[in-house]
């Protein structure tokens, strides 16, 4: 009787590969932070766009614990949210929600990514501080909020968003 096939062990990034992966993302995101966006010249004085992706700096938001959803809150409103590793100054994930107090209570694919990311850091005794920040001025209308979310993902190239897996790889899931 043939033996059942063994499952391949999950490949794990070594410490140097993890540092290199983070350095590439850090370098790109620092360049975004330091560069000035192109200014549109107009003949008329136009009011600035309420939800201008160039005006949102996720690194300047008030950060909270990733367990924020377990605490009593009065959030429950539309928001963009940003998962940031403060220890490495990396924006890992951009998301949008109409019910900020409910979004993370259930299943969310990013939770597994974060857990694997933190486990790998623990394995190599590297510091990590993963937190979440909310931008509360997000549009209430879903399509407008999702358009803004996509603009932020494209701008920052956050590695845990599936849109960026081809660029940065998918080492945590």
Per-residue pLDDT of 60-103, as tens digits, reads 999 988 766 655 555 568 889 999 999 999 999 999 988 765 65
Q: Are strands 90-97 and 63-65 parallel, antiparallel or unpaired?
A: unpaired
Q: What are phi and psi of 82, to 5 degrees?
A: -130, 120
Q: 30-72, pLDDT tens digit by residue?
A: 999 998 765 555 555 444 455 788 889 999 999 988 766 655 5
pLDDT on residue 47: 44
Residues in Cβ contact with 102 at an 8 Å cutoff, skipping those fewer than 6 apart:
69, 76
The two three-digit tokens of residue 102, written as one number: 């409910």
Q: 133-150, pLDDT tens digit by residue?
A: 999 889 999 999 999 999
| pTM of the entire predicted model | 0.82
The two three-digit tokens of residue 26, written as one number: 């850090």
pLDDT on residue 49: 52
pLDDT on residue 66: 77
Can you list the positions of beta strands (E) in 39-129?
Answer: 63-65, 79-85, 90-97
């Amino acid at each position: 009787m043939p033996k059942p096939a063994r499952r391949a062990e999950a490949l794990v990034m070594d410490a140097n590969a993890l540092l290199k992966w983070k350095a590439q993302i850090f370098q790109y995101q620092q360049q975004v932070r330091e560069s000035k966006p192109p200014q549109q010249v107009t003949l008329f004085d136009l009011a600035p766009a309420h939800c201008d992706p160039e005006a949102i700096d996720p690194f300047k938001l008030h950060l909270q614990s990733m367990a924020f959803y377990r605490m009593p809150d009065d959030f429950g409103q539309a928001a963009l949210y940003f998962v940031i590793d403060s220890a490495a100054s990396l924006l890992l994930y951009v998301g949008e929600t109409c019910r900020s107090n409910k979004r993370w209570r259930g299943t969310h694919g990013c939770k597994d990514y974060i857990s694997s990311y933190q486990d790998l850091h623990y394995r190599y005794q590297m510091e990590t501080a993963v937190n979440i920040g909310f931008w509360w001025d997000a549009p209430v209308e879903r399509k407008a909020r999702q358009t803004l979310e996509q603009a932020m993902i494209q701008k920052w190239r956050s590695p845990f968003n599936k849109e960026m897996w081809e660029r940065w790889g998918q080492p945590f899931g």
